[in-house]
C-alpha cells in the first residue's frame, strides 16, 4: 500500500488549490478583472506562482508515484514532502518579490529530479 505517497499527493493538490484561491483573492485586492492576466505586479506574481506550480505537477506527481512503486513509499513521501516545502518557500519568496523565488524553486526542482532519476533508475534496472 502507498498510504504515505497518497497523503503527499493530497497535500500537493491542496497546495495547488491554495494557489488558485490566492489568485482569486489577489484579483479582488488588486482590481484585475477576469479575463485579464496582467495589470498589477502583486496579481502577476500570484498568477505565476499558481502557473509554475501547475507546470511542475505533471513532472512531480508521476515521478513521485513511480518512485513509490519501484523503490519505497516512505522515501517517495519524504522527498515529496520536501517538494511541498519547496513550493511553500517559493510561494512565500515570490509573493514578496520575483527575485526571492529562487530558493524555493531550487528545493522543489532538486526533489523532482531526485524522484524522476530514482524512478528511472529503478525501472531501467528491472529491464536489464
* Residues 114 and 58 sit within 8 Å (Cβ to Cβ): no
Q: Which three cell numbers stand for residue 64?
A: 513521485
CA-nearest of 100, 103, 99, 73 to 85 is 103
Helices 41-70 and 73-96: angle between axes, nearest 10 degrees: 170
65-122 pLDDT, tens digit each: 999 999 999 999 999 999 999 999 999 999 999 999 999 999 999 999 999 999 999 9
24 burial via Cβ count (<10 Å: 0-12, 13-18, 19+) = exposed
Q: Which three cell numbers stand for residue 21?
A: 484561491
CATH, residue 88: 1.20.120.550
Report the predicted TM-score, pTM, of the whole model to 2 decimal places: 0.96
Number of domains in the chain: 1
**Containing domain of residue 37, as a range?**
3-127
Cα 48 from Cα 111, distance rounded (Å): 20
Q: H helices of the chain, where? A: 3-30, 41-70, 73-96, 102-127
Place 39 in a pLDDT band, splitting at 50, 70 and 90.
very high
Q: Which three cell numbers stand for residue 2?
A: 502507498
Q: How far is CA 119 from the centre of its chain?
A: 18
* Residues 104 and 88 sit within 8 Å (Cβ to Cβ): yes
Amino acid at each position: 500500500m502507498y498510504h504515505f505517497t497518497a497523503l503527499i499527493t493530497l497535500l500537493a493538490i491542496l497546495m495547488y488549490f491554495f494557489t488558485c484561491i490566492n489568485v482569486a483573492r489577489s484579483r479582488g485586492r488588486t482590481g484585475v478583472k477576469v479575463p485579464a492576466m496582467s495589470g498589477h505586479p502583486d496579481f502577476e506574481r500570484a498568477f505565476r506562482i499558481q502557473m509554475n506550480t501547475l507546470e511542475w505537477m505533471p513532472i512531480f506527481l508521476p515521478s513521485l508515484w513511480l518512485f513509490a512503486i519501484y523503490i519505497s513509499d516512505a522515501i517517495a513521501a519524504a522527498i515529496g514532502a520536501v517538494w511541498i516545502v519547496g513550493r511553500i518557500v517559493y510561494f512565500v519568496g515570490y509573493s514578496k518579490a520575483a527575485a526571492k523565488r529562487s530558493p524555493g524553486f531550487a528545493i522543489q526542482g532538486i526533489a523532482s529530479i531526485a524522484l524522476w532519476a530514482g524512478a528511472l533508475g529503478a525501472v531501467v534496472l528491472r529491464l536489464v
